[in-house]
Structure 1
Amino acid sequence: MAEREWWVLKWLDLLEKYRFKKRLERGRNYARDGNILAINFEGAKVTAQVQGTANEPYHLWIKLDPFSNEDWHYIIQTLAEKAIFSAQLLAGEMPQDIEEVFIANGLSLFPFSLSDVHSRCNCPDPKNPCKHIAAVYYELADRFSEDPFVLFQLRGRTREQILAQIRELRQQGTSQEVIGETGIDDVETEEVIEKITDDTVNLEEFWEYDEPLDSSLLQMTGDSDQTVLEVLGDFPLPSAESQAVKQYLQQVQKRVYSEVVHQTSP
């Protein structure tokens, strides 16, 4: 059996500390034998149906205490400041020192004990966790192994929400860095561009060129094997942003080509 990831072992360690080992063993067997008929995430809560000895499956839920919106604001802000964290999470790896992010904000990503994990099952067993809940505990370990963002979801933020906020914060940070380096803000930039355009560029003659162009230098028809964008290849940006930039430039290229064809048509 392959060695489990450290964050999965940390979750499983909660179970190992539980004193009723036989109950956990039965839960593990339920998970292995396919007794978990359904498992769903409803926000930060996990709901499941587990087949026991009765004819009808038992219904249960498991949840952790979610972090507040304010807590998540500071957590994601800290994550955004360290690009390596975002890269590792996207690659399916939980950063080794991820807990430092939460500790710095007075929180803990992982529960300290099973008493910090809230659960309920409609089976007649008065003990908690029952074997049905224990089965889902082990199933969650597999889910964490496949996607570490599942653990974040139990704390109140989905993968999509976290990545969207990180991307937004990093874009804001990049904009501020550019402003700081140039010493001008967006309004000043527009004024400079407008002044340069008015003073030095004749828009009516901008696309005119008196000398014939060597056909090998400019290929704008569909007959070319590769367009300029294809020659450039992927941009050094995250995949989503790279795709968006490429699509925009493709639209610009089509407009330019259409304008050139229109200008040169008899």
Structure 2
Amino acid sequence: MNKEELTNETEWWLQQWLELINSYRFKKRLERARNYARQGNVLSIEFQEGKAIARVQGTEAEPYQVSLWLDPLTDEDWGYVIETLSQRAIFSAKLLAGEMPKNIEEVFAANGLRLFPFTLDEVRSRCSCPDKANPCKHIAAVYYLLGDRFSEDPFILLQLRGRTKEQILAALRQQREISTREADTGDRSNAVAQKSPNMARQTRVNLNQFWDYEDALDSSLVVIAPSPSSETVLEVLGPIPLQPSAAGRALMETLNGLYGNIGQQAIVAALNRAG
């Protein structure tokens, strides 16, 4: 599949991967690699920890051994990513349902990280063939087949960055359990304070005014900005079950326009109030 063959129905992660491949300047080498992939020369691809290990049949009797990997994120980086994911309810819900969120790259960007590599130079690779060029046609053939694997299981991208699907889902569930326990603890503390006024006086904390701040805020500290997610409410809820028709499409366009205008008006109203 080349760039011209991409459609709106193509998964976003596959689009990004193929665009990355097509950015390679040696087009003839890419064409040979594409033919290798189409002709079945890539005999197998397995994922071992954070690496893709492949066997590619070349001109020799024995297949060449190819390995591909990305620089993994550190444990600290993954901690930030998991925490941010847990704070974005729609992302957590989709991941726990086994679905890759459309804008998950925003979570990595918010922590100064990136899921996708910027260039092919960031994709580490090695081949046992004698060709000194990198990527050779055997490595590039695996690039194309990886696109198919991403289409089947987009969580492979996360695995190449150092965390399997199971590890991420387990960490998200643990984070949600912690948040639930903290919320329950807060509720119990409020209940105790209401039942025991003397205890509340001893701590000298007025829970009803704990978050109040009576002094005027410096205007430079107040930042009003749109949500970091570009998804509208309609996109989050999914398609409305309408029969495909001109009337149905017109209704969706009208609703999208309304939600867009409402979002803009909310920002303007907030800015006016802040002023």
TM-score bin (small chain): 0.5 to 0.7
Deviation at 1:184, TM superposition (A): 7.0
Give runs of aligned pairs for residues 1-266 of structure 1, distance below 5 A: 3-91=9-97, 93-183=99-189
2: CA distance, partners of 1:87 / 1:25: 40
Deviation at 1:104, TM superposition (A): 1.2
**CA RMSD of superposed structures (Å):** 1.9
Identity %: 61
Which letter does structure 2 place at the counterpart of 1:94? M
Which letter does structure 2 place at the counterpart of 1:105? N
Helix, strand or coil: the match of 1:53?
A: coil
2: CA distance, partners of 1:64 / 1:76: 19
Helix, strand or coil: the match of 1:183?
A: helix
Which letter does structure 2 place at the counterpart of 1:101? V
Aligned to 1:245: none
User: 1:170-191: per-residue Cα shift (whole Å, max 9, x none)?
Assistant: 0110111122123279xx9xxx
Unaligned runs of 5+ in 2: 193-275
User: 1:234-254: per-residue Cα shift (whole Å, max 9, x none)?
Assistant: xxxxxxxxxxxxxxxxxxxxx
Deviation at 1:122, TM superposition (A): 1.0
User: 1:204-231: per-residue Cα shift (whole Å, max 9, x none)?
Assistant: xxxxxxxxxxxxxxxxxxxxxxxxxxxx
Deviation at 1:91, TM superposition (A): 4.8
Are 2:56 and 2:64, in contact at CA under 8 Å, matched by a contact in 1? Answer: yes
2: CA distance, partners of 1:90 / 1:50: 35
Unaligned runs of 5+ in 1: 189-266
Are 1:45 and 1:62, in contact at CA under 8 Å, matched by a contact in 2? Answer: yes
TM-score (normalizing by structure 1): 0.66
Are 2:95 and 2:169, in contact at CA under 8 Å, matched by a contact in 1? Answer: no
Aligned to 1:197: none
TM-score (normalizing by structure 2): 0.64
User: 1:24-76: per-residue Cα shift (whole Å, max 9, x none)?
Assistant: 12212222222111211111111110011221100011110000000001101
Q: Tell me which structure has the larger Cα radius of gyration.
A: 1
Deviation at 1:85, TM superposition (A): 1.3
Deviation at 1:88, TM superposition (A): 2.5
2: CA distance, partners of 1:91 / 1:137: 28
